[in-house]
Amino acid sequence: MHMSQKEACVQVAGVEFPTECGKCNPLANYEETIKAAKEAAARQCPPCSEKQCHSDLNRCPSYENTFVCTAGPNHNGCSDSPWDIVPWICAECCELTNCPKVSPLEKTTMQSIDVSDDNCPKCTKEQCKSNLCPMQVAPYLCIEGDSTGGCSTRPWSILNGQCQECCKVHSDC
């Protein structure tokens, strides 16, 4: 589904770059602009289903609006604006914004885990740049080994070779 020129202008001027492009907004009323942009985004990337919310798709960093590609070359890719629905970029997407970041079961499970962080020190600013891990659910980022870029709810076991070095994502990432 493609946007009309007006919807595209509203998206750019009203949602993506309101400070830089807001004066070119085709809608006079700011509230109308936001409403139209959200409606266009919902048509392009509808809210994720409960099943999608509780799947591995929900691993994106939190933006004001968070969109994930659900099918196509960028499957599992994250964006702060709706994906262009074209076969060579993303065939389908959904919006994660209203998905819970930590389910009650995950929260209980995480609280019951008593493991040492010794193998995974706090991530550096440079390591944070490559992070796609949801800090509240799976804060341990593999930075070297077969699982590089992977996220875990527990510190990675360095002994099995799957991840040879890891770090813990933190609020400053």
Asked whether the predicted pLDDT for residue 105 surpasses 60, the reply is: no
pLDDT, position 114: 41
pLDDT, position 113: 43
Residue 33: band (very low, low, confident or very high) from pLDDT cuts 50, 70, 90: low
Residue 124: band (very low, low, confident or very high) from pLDDT cuts 50, 70, 90: very high
Asked whether the predicted pLDDT for residue 154 surpasses 60, the reply is: yes
Rg of the chain over Cα atoms, rounded to whole angstroms, equals: 19
Asked whether the predicted pLDDT for residue 9 surpasses 50, the reply is: yes
Asked whether the predicted pLDDT for residue 38 surpasses 60, the reply is: yes
Asked whether the predicted pLDDT for residue 34 surpasses 70, the reply is: no
Residue 52: band (very low, low, confident or very high) from pLDDT cuts 50, 70, 90: confident
Choice between 144 and 64, residue whose per-residue pLDDT is larger: 144
pTM over the 0.85 mark:
no
Asked whether the predicted pLDDT for residue 133 surpasses 70, the reply is: yes
Torsional class of 158: left (φ above 0), alpha (ψ -120 to 50), beta (otherwise): alpha
Asked whether the predicted pLDDT for residue 101 surpasses 70, the reply is: no
Asked whether the predicted pLDDT for residue 21 surpasses 70, the reply is: yes
CA 71/CA 94 separation, integer angstroms: 10
